[in-house]
Amino acid sequence: MALTATERTTLKRLPERGSHERATVRSILDEGIVCHVGFATERGPVVIPTTYGRVGDDLYLHGSPASRMLRTLKHGVPVCVTVTLVDALVLARSTFHHSINYRSVVVFGTAVEVTDPDEKAAALAAFVEHIVPGRTADARPATIKEVSGTLVLRLALAEASAKVRVGPPIDDEEDLALPVWAGVLPFTARPGPARPDAFVPDDVEVPAYVAAYDRPCS
Amino acid sequence: MALTATERTTLKRLPERGSHERATVRSILDEGIVCHVGFATERGPVVIPTTYGRVGDDLYLHGSPASRMLRTLKHGVPVCVTVTLVDALVLARSTFHHSINYRSVVVFGTAVEVTDPDEKAAALAAFVEHIVPGRTADARPATIKEVSGTLVLRLALAEASAKVRVGPPIDDEEDLALPVWAGVLPFTARPGPARPDAFVPDDVEVPAYVAAYDRPCS
């Protein structure tokens, strides 16, 4: 099922790389770890990296109530949230045609503060499950004080689109015979090994969801 | 040697994570592959991922002269460029204290178009060398037509700062005895194996700078 294309989410250049498919947008968001949040301030644009969670067709941002970013966004300031995955380096025969295979999602909208305690608790769990699936069953849940001490914002995945480059380099035909190696160097984020902190009791082993961690999470 | 701190590059929260050290800023920029470029448009803020190059204390952006982003920025619109490296997932005993070890750089300024052919050629080489050191000695250099068909912008690394989180989870003291595994799961971008494209002659081997590729580049 596709999201509705808008002026802002329609690619002007290389439109064949664009997608409004909900499944594509979701899978890129779920694989990413940090997003980049852009908004205007009195002193110009700001782009801040932060973690996020997704529940259905909503994206959640969170942090301290003292966070300048969250305090600004909760007033309904327009925001752009971008998530980018680098999949491979693309080595062409010519300097000019070098590229990157990547998948990115851009979300436009305005965020609203989440005040309902149940939605807030679900969002807080989503932040952790997004990063380490299975973790919330082990970790101590947030207390009422911690929940109320966290500012959570919701941004609808309504005006969103994906952009994807895949495949080999696209060289000029007259360069194909050059004796230059060309191809793709895949680039994968690999986890591990896990390092316990100093206070973990000896009989507490590394959980399976940490030892077998991979991304995208299965 | 440190960059001069400004209102925009001074952390209000957790200032101990901030740095204006030039060497820190440079090393994060050099290890990253894509940056996120934020700027204001008539329709609100936009955050676009793109590759970049660094030469000394200048950051370069490039692309097609038809790129909306580059066409906007070359008119001196204020820009914020952010590069983020995810180093590790930080698993605390409490849901609340989960975190990410990361290194990020934020650069504020206005970009200017590079018109000098020598500077432009050096920037184009820097884009490729930034991604694959050693590559420009092998690849066909850009032609005059390709150079003139590329829009290159320069952004001074003058108003820039880094933010870094390292170390184990920071749990509340009363949680330390919980029988919950806690620690750090390092997260490293690993390249390879390289895949040649269909037209590489049989006697052209994978170059050493591809076969032994690692990031940060040595």
Is residue A205 assigned to a domain? no
Is residue A31 assigned to a domain? yes
Is residue A164 assigned to a domain? yes
Number of independent structural domains in chain A: 1
Enter the tokens of residue A111.
């965020």
**Residue A217 pLDDT greater than 90, yes or no:** no
pLDDT of residue A216: 84
Amino acid occupying residue A96: F
Is residue A5 assigned to a domain? no
Amino acid occupying residue B52: Y
Is residue A117 assigned to a domain? yes
Cβ B43–A8 below 8 Å, yes or no?
A: yes
Taking CA atoms, A212 is separated from A27, A102, A135, B95, in Å, by 20, 25, 13, 20
Query: CB under 8 Å to B53, separation ≥6 — which residues?
Result: B59, B60, B62, B123, B126, B127, B129, B130
Helices (H), B67-135: 68-73, 117-131
pTM (2 decimals)? Answer: 0.96
| B2 vs A: CB within 8 A | no
Helices (H), chain B: 22-31, 68-73, 117-131, 144-148, 208-211
Question: What is the tens place of the pLDDT at every residue in B127-152?
Answer: 999 999 999 999 999 999 999 999 99
**Residue A1 pLDDT greater than 90, yes or no:** no
Q: In which domain, by residue range, is B162 found?
A: 15-190
Spell out the long-range contacts of B123-126 with Cβ–Cβ below 8 A and sequence spacing 24 or more: B123/B53, B123/B55, B123/B60, B123/B62, B123/B152, B123/B154, B124/A95, B124/A96, B124/B62, B124/B150, B124/B152, B125/A95, B126/B53, B126/B54, B126/B55, B126/B60
Question: What is the tens place of the pLDDT at every residue in A65-96?
Answer: 999 999 999 999 999 999 999 999 999 999 99
pLDDT of residue A218: 65
Is residue A10 assigned to a domain? no
Rounded to an integer, what distance in angstroms lies between the CA atom of residue A209 and that of residue A82?
A: 27
Helix (H, G, I), strand (E, B) or coil at A172: coil
Share of chain B above pLDDT 70, in %: 100
Of B104, B129, B148, B181, which to mutate for an interface test with A (greatest number of A Cβ within 10 Å)?
Answer: B181
Is residue A45 assigned to a domain? yes
Enter the tokens of residue B216.
């940060």
Chain B: closest CA distance from residue A1 (Å): 25
Closest in A34, A169, A201 to B197, CB measured: A169
Is residue B124 assigned to a domain? yes
CATH number at residue A99: 2.30.110.10
Closest in A171, A183, A201 to B194, CB measured: A183
Rounded to an integer, what distance in angstroms lies between the CA atom of residue B52 and that of residue B54?
A: 7
Report residue A9 CA to chain centroid gap: 17
Cβ B106–A47 below 8 Å, yes or no?
A: yes
Cβ A96–B204 below 8 Å, yes or no?
A: no
Chain A: closest CA distance from residue B111 (Å): 13
pLDDT of residue A82: 98
